[in-house]
Structure 1
């Protein structure tokens, strides 16, 4: 039994290493023949804790030709006043107020749609308010575009500040590196092979308009993946890149937010398909949790250490590639267990018709 698992996990480790190698990084040197206008578009709803940081970060960008449009999406805290204070008289910034949310739209998607209508740029960069950027980020990103590249996106470095975020947040990186053939995702226009992260999505304007922008995914809770697929269907490439050297995302402040955010996304991210969710749950339990059980409780031998090392090495490879906390891989079996618990809770929210709640709104 252990020998079989060792062979399987040796193959998985080689696959994860190969996939990580195939994930391109942003170019370290930017050689720009021109400086097209970039519209930096930031939707905000109850983001008072992030306002000062994100605006100061954007002000520090070294790229000289950009505009910033911020939408206050009916915030119930001091987001709007803090934005006004932070931007002061900087003419690069514009604050707009969100319109009432239509019944058939998801809140963030509608906010992004409104931002796009105000944007004048040749490139549209959608940022979440909890993102932090290296000052040279825009130069490196725009240098990554080819003429037939419609979208550049990637999973940022995600600092974690509580146990639940340590368990769950880095798993999004692992799932992509383990399941998605990155070379196929980046080198073909096959829409099924696509991943994206809504915290950082940079579109060529013509590609964004070709898919009718966020209107094409207006009712999606995982609009980042769905709009990326639309871009591919419109005959553009989508580049999934390792942006962790330049982009960070402080996704959740509390364990409650971590649980709420992942339970909102995980089952919809599987297309709300219960059979697929059950299959993946069984796969992860058998492949990633069971080896620890049999190694630690039934067969505590040299081969047990080899098997555990191979399993942990897969997570370590991804964590190092994406610049996560170096020792976080040691929590991997617990991360898998908690991920499965969140998945089942997300399925429960769907089946019970309670819906998925986020920032004071509930979506069925």
Structure 2
């Protein structure tokens, strides 16, 4: 066997072991008790979310937590979002509906909507949700009890992702893969080191006082990845951020079409990588060498023996472990080579748009 084979075998084994060990520092929502029930304000920005509005209200109405209010902002939708919101929340006093104002210059639409929502909140804790989120009935008490037990000021997590479209199946589950593979979760959850920070804007539970101390969403008004930037600001102010495995309680129906998936990832991924060209080039090489080359050895196993299958099998096992731990459709691990290719493609496309100063497009708005 060549040196290259043994290097690929060793790296594949290391990645599997690293992933399993890394996941041990990612706490899950469980069945903890909560002595008190402080007021929690659930804040949901919506723009052209007619397909999600009724289901979102229904999932919030089913929550068992008694002391909450829910404020939903319609961000100048051009579909039936506002009408559906009015019809489905009409007789529930826990809900308040507001209409968002015009988008100021230099603000990102979602960030401005969240800022407006925060000014109407009364809660001691603020839970920001996206419209495509669905919750288990005990989600709030479990998230709040974990936040308090770990003495954190922000709890966030990547939801479970039911996926239906081709690009959705390839790209959306890779969010968990990136966290498990690249983020040192021990450092993310137990230190204030900003570089070891991850967050998902679809589910962010803040202690109100800490949220205001960092300047709220106003402080990141121009950010396309406001979730990560807010988490970093929390650490800058000395507040602990907790990234949890929330997939048992939180699901996110993220993109309905292939086009939405492509545009959504194109908007976020290069900015999420710090708009660093060397980092994109480095990660492209990393994936080609350590994640695509082992699969290229599969045909050679017919000529040189089944031992050549081992690197690819270990990588499949790594992906299977991640999908099991995050409640993903288990058969999707087989798509890992195609998923890696899709990730490389969207990462470089996002960089290409930025370098050529082309705009990102999302929900009828363009961003530079």
Task: Give the structure-2-normalised TM-score.
Answer: 0.97
Shift of 1:163: 1.3
CA contact (8 A) 1:127 1:201 kept: yes
1:313 maps to 2:317: yes
Superposition pairs of residues 185-334 of structure 1, within 5 angstroms? 185-297=188-300, 301-334=305-338
1:116 maps to 2:118: yes
1:171 maps to 2:174: yes
- Partner Cα separation in structure 2 for residue 192 and residue 345 of structure 1: 24
Superposition pairs of residues 41-120 of structure 1, within 5 angstroms? 41-120=43-122
CA contact (8 A) 1:295 1:301 kept: no
- Partner Cα separation in structure 1 for residue 57 and residue 8 of structure 2: 49
| Count of aligned residue pairs for this structure pair | 363
Q: Secondary structure at the match of 1:327?
A: helix
> Structure 2 stretches of 5 or more lacking a match?
none
The residue aligned with 1:5 is 8
Shift of 1:294: 2.7
Task: Give the structure-1-normalised TM-score.
Answer: 0.98
- Partner Cα separation in structure 2 for residue 236 and residue 42 of structure 1: 24
Structure 1 segments of 4+ aligned residues over 6 angstroms from their partners: none
Q: Secondary structure at the match of 1:3?
A: helix
- Partner Cα separation in structure 2 for residue 258 and residue 300 of structure 1: 40
Shift of 1:19: 0.9
Shift of 1:27: 2.7
Q: Secondary structure at the match of 1:28?
A: coil
Deviation sequence 1:127-162 (CA, Å, 0-9, x none): 000000001101101101238411000000000011
1:361 maps to 2:355: no
The residue aligned with 1:34 is 36
Partner of residue 345 from structure 2, selected from 337, 341, 348 = 341
Deviation sequence 1:37-74 (CA, Å, 0-9, x none): 00000000000000110000000100000000000000
Shift of 1:354: 1.6
Q: Secondary structure at the match of 1:115?
A: helix
Deviation sequence 1:262-291 (CA, Å, 0-9, x none): 111111111111111111111111110011
- Partner Cα separation in structure 1 for residue 304 and residue 22 of structure 2: 31
CA contact (8 A) 2:297 2:309 kept: no
Deviates more, 1:147-156 or 1:313-322: 147-156
Shift of 1:297: 4.3
> Structure 1 stretches of 5 or more lacking a match?
none
- Partner Cα separation in structure 2 for residue 327 and residue 142 of structure 1: 33
Deviates more, 1:310-319 or 1:70-79: 310-319
